[in-house]
Chain A
Amino acid sequence: MSFIEVLSSSQILFAALLTGAIYAIVAVGLNMVYGTMRLLNVAHGDIVMIGAYAAYWLFTQLGIPPVASMFVVAIFCALIGAALYKLLLKKMLARPGDVPHLEARSLLLFFGLSLLIQNLVVSLQTATPRAYQYMDHVYRISNLAMTGNRLLALLVAFFLCLAIAAFLRWNIFGLALRAVIERTDAARIVGVDVERVHLISLVIGFGAAGVAGVLLSMMEQFSPFMGFSLTIAAFIVVILGGLGNIAGGFAAAMILGAIETYGVALTSPNMRSILIYGVFVLALILLPKGLFHKRFKK
């Protein structure tokens, strides 16, 4: 395909939007958790993986279609988040200590968790990638062809983004969340229940990650090791969008989806990982405060 053909292809635009929307709902959880607790959850992508396997199991074993199971999976993943907070994180956050060391160490904790989750799933389900067929009827609009599951995934992802954004915008929790992200100690002084904000961030974030897993499982193969590249993508989105900036995150997710989809279309599928990790390294070094930093000055 020539350069112009790629740029004008509605097929590739659709793919870019879909990738971006999925990244947006994966990243929103990472953003809230890192923003409020300063804990970098590198196991976040593994929650997506759990969501994918849960949807697979519910569909193939119990016959529950993903369109219904996504609610169950969201609740299940949200409960994992709540359990993680109650059992491990609450204690760790309560312990006084110097912040950068705590942060770096907490990353090791999540890394351990990630190893644990991945290998438990391998033990239970083997490492072979899996897939199932669901809503794979092809719809055509002029020269754009898309399967029903992709259309559904795009709609659900967009709706979920809007719902989370609206909740944070109009519910008082959104204000508390922003206060905790800006300055936890000050938020505590003015009466914000910081522990509750932490818990709700994890619950919403993990729930959204679970839904992302359900959506991904309808469309493509998944394996126990799919999580880490998603964590990296989500992390790029968080950096570029700006910490705690949910709207900025959605924009950054769309940008990353476009970079990845168009980059691969113009070069080769082998370039996907190089693109993702390249953007990741550059973003961390060059733009640690994000693309939209100026507009967000305190």
Chain B
Amino acid sequence: MKNPASGDKILWAILAVFFLALPFMKQDYFTGIGLSFLMWLALTQSWSILSKMTGYISLGHVVFYGLGSYIVVVTWQQVPLWLAIAASGLASAVFAALVGLPVLRVRGPYFVILTFGLAELVKYVLLAVEASLGISSRLLFATPDITEIYWIMLGLAAASTLLLEAVHRSRFGHGLRSLRENEEAAETLGVPIARYKLVAYVLSAIIPGMVGGVMALRSTYFEASQAFDAMISINIIVMAVIGGGDNARGPLIGVAFLVALSELFWAEAPQFYMIILGLLMIMFVVKLPDGLLGVLESRKKKLGGRAL
């Protein structure tokens, strides 16, 4: 039987070559789709660090995306771009660290809906702040072209993938998995659960902040209700749930599928897209709670068992 680890390596190598070569086709349409894929991949991998590893499902990751967007937009043309993007990652991390302790004490469905409420709260506060400043939306001028944005996003997607893999394989990752299975037992065995959860939360916040910052350059304007659109959080979850598994391979299928789906339907029939999204959510929760990867793996295990 083939070694699954080497199969993984080949898969990632093919993906890397593909995405490195894509912009050289000079087709802005395909670069755009590639960018969209990389963006969702970066978001979903980051989300997995918290939600797949610990079982604390965040339905509010858009809050980091939105904060990152805001940072890049207000500092645009005042500081160098790399500094603004770094600052957006840092701002997300700081925000996660500040709210993390109280928020992560809340468990189960309460946590899920709390993260959602928190993102909405930040959105409305920012809307009120912008309204009191007399600004309804901000425009960005002289933003970099799509190829440059693409390269930054490729870097972020790669970084988030490597980060998730690193966490997945580390002692820290084992700790996170143990608290996912049974928080009390993990604590009894000496896993510092409060600290581990907080670190996972902060790690999962950094890259979404930077992604938000980069995507603000792509859309060239900022409006709080769009940068904090709850659909972003929902998309992330559906992508992760379709793939299943808690390693970096899991989200690939879901991201590819939904990017293709939204490319087909989002512009012309957004309702249809969202109806499919809703159906997918229901179907995967009821029928395939472990995702496609889970189905593949359990089938592999069964086959392996028979061969022995």
Interface, chain A (partner B; CB < 8 A): 38, 40, 42, 88, 91-92, 98-101, 103-109, 111-120, 122-123, 232, 235, 270-271, 273-274, 277-278, 280-281, 284-285, 288
Contact = CB atoms under 8 A, between A and B. Distances in A.
Nearest to B111: A104
A284 B124 CA distance: 18
Interface string B135-177: 0000000000000000000000000000000000000000000
Contact of A122 (B56, B124, B271): B271
Interface of B: 55-57, 59, 102-103, 105-114, 117-118, 120-121, 124-125, 127-128, 131, 181-182, 234, 237, 241, 271-272, 274-275, 277-282, 285-286, 289
A289 to B, nearest CB: 11
Query: What 6 A-B pairs are tightest by C-beta distance, nearest first?
Result: A112-B281, A116-B278, A115-B278, A277-B121, A40-B109, A112-B282
A264 to B, nearest CB: 13
Contacts of B182: 98
Given A42-B113, A100-B107, A288-B106, A111 B59 contact: yes
Q: Does more than half of chain A's interface fall in helix, strand or loop, or is it mixed? A: helix
Contacts of A122: 271
Contacts of A284: 106, 110, 113-114, 117
Contacts of A280: 117, 121
Contact of B275 (A38, A115, A278): A115
Nearest to A112: B281
B16 to A, nearest CB: 32
B124 A108 contact: no
Nearest to B233: A111
Contacts of B56: 104
A273 B224 CA distance: 14
Nearest to A122: B271
Contacts of A91: 286
A285 B101 CA distance: 10
Nearest to A39: B109
Given A100-B55, A119-B278, A274-B124, A108 B114 contact: no
B286 A92 contact: yes
13 contacts: A40-B112, A100-B55, A100-B108, A101-B55, A104-B109, A119-B271, A232-B117, A271-B128, A274-B128, A284-B117, A285-B103, A285-B114, A288-B110
